[in-house]
Chain A
Amino acid sequence: GEDVEQSLFLSVREGDSSVINCTYTDSSSTYLYWYKQEPGAGLQLLTYIFSNMDMKQDQRLTVLLNKKDKHLSLRIADTQTGDSAIYFCAERKDQAGTALIFGKGTTLSVSS
């Protein structure tokens, strides 16, 4: 299908790790992205991974890519209350400069 799938909601306690999962549609997608959306703010790019990589780590963020299963995950270590937001995975299917295809977003709620 054409949908990028994400679980809709995740609740964790402060200090725990959060793992947000995503299934994308096209094995030929070149770049896969994770965006964060906070109320009243635009989408903020958190991290991205190129399709020839299996893993990327950036401070508290770890992205894992399983091309065989078309599965992407975002792990946030030591989750903070400020991490509460909606997280979107997105794929870029075509050539550079084209629009992205987004999942429905996962709402992360962090309790103290």
Chain B
Amino acid sequence: GAVVSQHPSWVICKSGTSVKIECRSLDFQATTMFWYRQFPKQSLMLMATSNEGSKATYEQGVEKDKFLINHASLTLSTLTVTSAHPEDSSFYICSVPVSGSYNEQFFGPGTRLTVL
């Protein structure tokens, strides 16, 4: 299957700083990538859909000015958490949908963000 990487895997930052998380599709070109957020013992909640060459589509309740998404190329999407606060601490996971008979999505390993 497709391989999706994320970097960094774990980051700790001070409150008020910005953090960039990268999602790379290593062997598949992706015009679309998804960004999810997962709280402990919670389900993955879709934050936004990253679209190559156009603006990201954000889910209701997700602040687009706080969570900046840039789909720079067919293999790279970045999520920047701006002016991070402790409540932004979470596990962020990206996925790449792959068209097929059952339209599977391949998930990155996730990035653990801790804001102090």
Interface residues on B, range: 20 to 34
Contact B93 A43 (CB under 8 A): yes
Of the listed stretches B11-19, B69-77, B80-88, B100-108, name the one at the interface; the rest are far from the partner chain. B100-108
Q: Are B103 and A31 neighbours in the complex by a CB distance under 8 Å?
A: yes
**Which of B34, B93, B102, B106 is packed against the most chain A CB atoms within 10 Å?**
B102
Q: How far is the CB of B16 from chain A (nearest CB, A)?
A: 28
Quick one: CB contact mask for B93-113 with A, threshold 8 Å, 1 for yes? Answer: 101010100111111111000
Q: Which residue of B lies closest to A9 (CB)?
A: B41
Residue of B nearest to A92 (CB): B103
Which chain A positions have C-beta within 8 A of B9? 40
B25 interface residue per 8 A CB criterion: no
Determine whether A1 belongs to the interface, using a CB cutoff of 8 Å to chain B: no
Q: Is A41 within 8 A of B103, CB to CB?
A: no
Given contacts A97-B97, A97-B103, contact A42 B108 (CB under 8 A): yes
The answer to whether B102 touches A41 (Cβ under 8 A) is no
Q: How many A-B residue pairs have CB under 8 A?
A: 58
Instruction: Pick from B42, B44, B49, B108 the residue with the most CB of A within 10 Å.
Output: B44
Please measure, in the bound complex, the distance between the C-alpha atom of A102 and the C-alpha atom of B38, giving whole angstroms.
Answer: 10
Apart from A45-B105, A88-B44, A102-B36: 16 A-B pairs, beta carbons within 8 A: A4-B43, A31-B102, A31-B103, A42-B4, A96-B97, A97-B99, A99-B36, A99-B46, A99-B49, A99-B95, A100-B44, A100-B46, A100-B105, A101-B46, A102-B44, A104-B43
Closest 4 CB pairs of A and B: A42-B107, A43-B107, A102-B43, A42-B109
Which B residues lie at the A interface, using CB under 8 A? 1, 4, 9, 32, 34, 36, 41-46, 49, 93, 95, 97, 99, 102-110
